[in-house]
Amino acid sequence: MLNHGVQILPARGQEAIDTALKADLVILNTAVAGKWLDAVLKDHVPQVLPKILWWIHEMRGHYFKLEYVKHLPLVAGAMIDSHTTAEYWKTRTHDRLNIQMPQTYVVHLGNSEELMEVAEDNVARRVLREHIRESLGVRSEDLIFAVINSVSRGKGQDLFLQAFYQSLKLIQHQKLKVPKMHAVVVGSDMNAQTKFETQLREFVAKNGIHDHVHFVNRTLVVPPYLAAIDVLVQNSQARGECFGRITIEAMAFKLPVLGTAAGGTTEIILDGTTGLLHPAGKEGVMPLAKNIVRLASHVEQRISMGNRGYARVKERFMEHHMADRIAVVLKEVLQKSRQHSHS
């Protein structure tokens, strides 16, 4: 950030207060940033509220606490990653906290130019694909279905592995001829294996599918894995992802996506066109298993869905699309905050 000319200040102290008071616009990033207002600004909160744009990325229930969001009705505006999430925040704050959301703007995220450069470089993709597959012990002709996310119950790795196991049984029962299939779970923590991850590994061992399932340590560098796999599974549960950046990143690599019909995922994936949707929860296990079999059996569908997903990314989910949308929001909120200060 310093290399890009961004000044970085301590979050607490007089300098933070002075900066917030002098600023034309203050952006709170994430729902929990609301606690910073009372803790740091204290008596100056009323002066700053009318020039705050609150950028919210969360949708889990524990964020809906008055200590976090009690000032929401008085800020200049809120910015949220998806229409589904925005509607959820509107309903939940009203019903649970009896407060009103401010004017809310929806801004979908976009892929960075750096990621697109890798995704569109055929040589780089081939090298990365070969390297990762070799490290996993997976042949070039095998099929990989992967979840790339932090390993937790909310991300649905358990239900994904159940669905993958069922897909193997379906293929065997229907005597389908498909390449050997692998499930890859990227996002493990090898140093501090949780009870949930232990249960995942026990499921694999119990059902004898250890030669089909691979666990990969969590990483911030996802392009190599996107280059190596054939299908991304976005299996976030309950209300799903607010948006799910990994979904548009996978689409940039021309991968079809199997996603839960929940949250912002429904605003990214065109069901039957760029991927396939299945219900969240246990009722989604068999539909996901059938979708895995469907894509394993039809290479032309995988390719066509991947190509359409890539076209959709280029049309609306690029970094410059996101920048344009944010610019419109910033101009409108800035104008509103200035009008308030003049009045």
Residue 155: CATH number of its domain = 3.40.50.2000
pLDDT above 80 for 282: yes
The pLDDT of residue 336 is 87
Alpha carbon 10 to chain centroid distance?
Answer: 28
Structure tokens belonging to residue 143: 């099929």
The pLDDT of residue 293 is 98
Render pLDDT for 43-78 as a digit per residue (tens, 0 to 9).
999 999 999 999 999 888 788 889 899 999 999 999
The pLDDT of residue 25 is 95
Cα 292 to Cα 163: distance, rounded to the nearest angstrom = 8
The pLDDT of residue 342 is 66
189: pLDDT confidence band, cut at 50, 70 and 90? confident
192: pLDDT confidence band, cut at 50, 70 and 90? confident
Host domain of residue 185: 113-316
Does residue 188 sit in the same domain as residue 65?
no
Distances in Å between the alpha carbon of 150 and those of 24, 56, 96, 114, 228? 37, 20, 29, 22, 19
Q: DSSP 3-state assignment of 5?
A: coil
Burial call 142-161: b when 16+ CB within 10 Å, e when fewer: bbbbbbbbebeebbbbbbbb
Residue range 107-114: average pLDDT? 96
The pLDDT of residue 59 is 86
Structure tokens belonging to residue 196: 């949930």
Residue range 315-338: average pLDDT? 94
Does residue 92 sit in the same domain as residue 124?
no
Which residues, other chains included, contact 74 with Cβ-Cβ below 8 Å and sequence gap of 6+?
49, 50, 102
The pLDDT of residue 343 is 64
The pLDDT of residue 90 is 96
Q: Are 290 and 297 in contact (CB under 8 A)?
A: no
Q: What is the pTM of this model?
A: 0.93
Render pLDDT for 226-272 as a digit per residue (tens, 0 to 9).
999 999 999 999 889 999 999 999 999 999 999 999 999 999 999 99
The pLDDT of residue 339 is 80
Domain count, the chain: 2
pLDDT above 80 for 332: yes
Distances in Å between the alpha carbon of 143 and those of 9, 109, 335? 48, 29, 52
Cα 302 to Cα 287: distance, rounded to the nearest angstrom = 17
Q: Are 94 and 69 in contact (CB under 8 A)?
A: no
Does residue 333 sit in the same domain as residue 263?
no
In 3D space, the residue among 26, 25, 33, 84 whose CA is nearest the CA of residue 56 turns out to be: 33
Does residue 76 sit in the same domain as residue 149?
no
The pLDDT of residue 151 is 95
Other beta carbons less than 10 A from residue 202's beta carbon: 10
Does residue 138 sit in the same domain as residue 215?
yes
Distances in Å between the alpha carbon of 25 and those of 82, 134, 173, 283? 23, 50, 61, 45
Does residue 79 sit in the same domain as residue 182?
no
Does residue 123 sit in the same domain as residue 211?
yes
Cα 278 to Cα 161: distance, rounded to the nearest angstrom = 15
- The residues that bridge with 105 in the sheet, in sequence order, are 79
Render pLDDT for 290-308 as a digit per residue (tens, 0 to 9).
999 999 999 999 999 999 9
Does residue 60 sit in the same domain as residue 207?
no
pLDDT above 90 for 191: no
The percentage of residues in the chain with a pLDDT greater than 70, rounded to a whole number, is 99
338: pLDDT confidence band, cut at 50, 70 and 90? confident
Does residue 117 sit in the same domain as residue 104?
no
Does residue 164 sit in the same domain as residue 279?
yes
Instruction: Point out the least confidently predicted range of 30-34, 189-193, 296-300, 323-327.
Output: 189-193
Q: DSSP 3-state assignment of 46?
A: helix
The percentage of residues in the chain with a pLDDT greater than 90, rounded to a whole number, is 91
Torsion angle (degrees, nearest 10) of CA 325, 327, 333, 334? 180
Does residue 53 sit in the same domain as residue 103?
yes
At residue 23's C-alpha, the angle toward residues 17 and 29, to 5°, is 80
Higher per-residue pLDDT: 249 or 189: 249
Does residue 136 sit in the same domain as residue 84?
no
